[in-house]
A and B are shown apart, each in its own frame.
Chain A
């Protein structure tokens, strides 16, 4: 059998070596910590997701007139 050296981080290898049940338990600990620190369950907007289209604000403003325009900005 040919074995090829593959630069994989030790942390990731450790994670792979856990059983699915152990991974679920570790993930649960992370969740508990996240919640205890006041983390929100509301997902952040993901502009690449096709689901984002369902949440996007309308492109036209509610009053029907043109919206904000940039009048001046630096070259960057």
Chain B
């Protein structure tokens, strides 16, 4: 997931960490430990690499010391806010075959949901991801494309275009996304205001989600420093 998935789906991100989502079972964690050993990677922050922390929603942070990946950070997660459990993510994944092997990426709708965070950098990324999908498929969309655009587009002009061209489908989704009412009536200013409201609400949800986790991290960190 993360940076390379963004590149694949059409946004341009120059991310220097590697985010990996895993099912926090013993066999998987053993395999990750072996992979991290190959990369001479070590855990560089709290929490420790344990299933209990991953299952709570924490990320475990490694830094690679192997000369081929010197300094690269690998963040391992198992639970993410705003996205389905791992089994569902896995069913919907995109697999890409390259000369080096097969890569499994988080699906575009799941990536978009995962990007709805408190960080400034994620919001233009969502906009670009959905725009890219729109420009790629707008000439021959199926119902699921239109549904995705109506739910996730963050470009006022494109929201108007989709809502006008697929009026009935847009009207059916107003309950799920109120701003479609403005898109149907081509009220760009109102859409802009509503998009900002949506973004602020999601940022707040993300902050609230992380509050207890951050407190726990603080406790773990204090515990660590007092034991040194």
Q: Are A4 and B161 in contact (CB under 8 A)?
A: yes
Show 30 A/B contacts (Cβ-Cβ < 8 Å), sorted by A: A2-B161, A4-B158, A12-B128, A13-B135, A15-B10, A16-B136, A17-B135, A20-B10, A24-B7, A24-B8, A40-B71, A41-B69, A42-B63, A43-B15, A43-B16, A48-B121, A49-B119, A50-B118, A50-B206, A50-B214, A53-B214, A53-B217, A53-B218, A54-B45, A54-B46, A54-B217, A55-B44, A55-B45, A55-B61, A62-B225
Q: Are B73 and A23 in contact (CB under 8 A)?
A: no
Report A-chain residues with C-beta under 8 Å of the C-beta of B88: none
Q: A41-B70, A51-B61, A54-B221 are in contact. Are A30 and B14 (CB under 8 A)?
A: yes
Q: Are B14 and A43 in contact (CB under 8 A)?
A: no
Q: Least Cβ distance of B19 to chain A in Å?
A: 10
Bound CA span A13–B15, Å: 21
What is the interface residue range for chain B against chain A? 35 or more
Residue of A nearest to B216 (CB): A53
Report A-chain residues with C-beta under 8 Å of the C-beta of B16: 40-44
Bound CA span A2–B163, Å: 10
A-B contact count (CB 8 A): 99
What is the interface residue range for chain A against chain B? 20 to 34
Q: Are A58 and B225 in contact (CB under 8 A)?
A: yes
Residue of A nearest to B128 (CB): A12
The answer, yes or no, to whether B75 is at the interface (CB within 8 Å) is yes
Report A-chain residues with C-beta under 8 Å of the C-beta of B121: 46, 48
Q: Which residues of chain A have a CB within 8 Å of any CB of chain B?
A: 1-6, 8, 12-13, 15-17, 20, 23-24, 27, 30, 34, 40-44, 46, 48-51, 53-56, 58, 62
Q: Which residues of chain B have a CB within 8 Å of any CB of chain A?
A: 4, 7-10, 12, 14-17, 44-47, 59, 61, 63-64, 69-73, 75, 96, 98, 117-121, 128, 131-132, 135-136, 155, 157-158, 160-161, 164-165, 206, 210, 213-214, 217-218, 221-222, 225
Bound CA span A44–B46, Å: 18
Bound CA span A48–B14, Å: 17
Q: Least Cβ distance of A57 to chain B in Å?
A: 9
Report A-chain residues with C-beta under 8 Å of the C-beta of B61: 51, 54-55
Bound CA span A58–B228, Å: 13
Q: Least Cβ distance of A47 to chain B in Å?
A: 10
Q: Are A6 and B158 in contact (CB under 8 A)?
A: yes
Bound CA span A23–B47, Å: 35
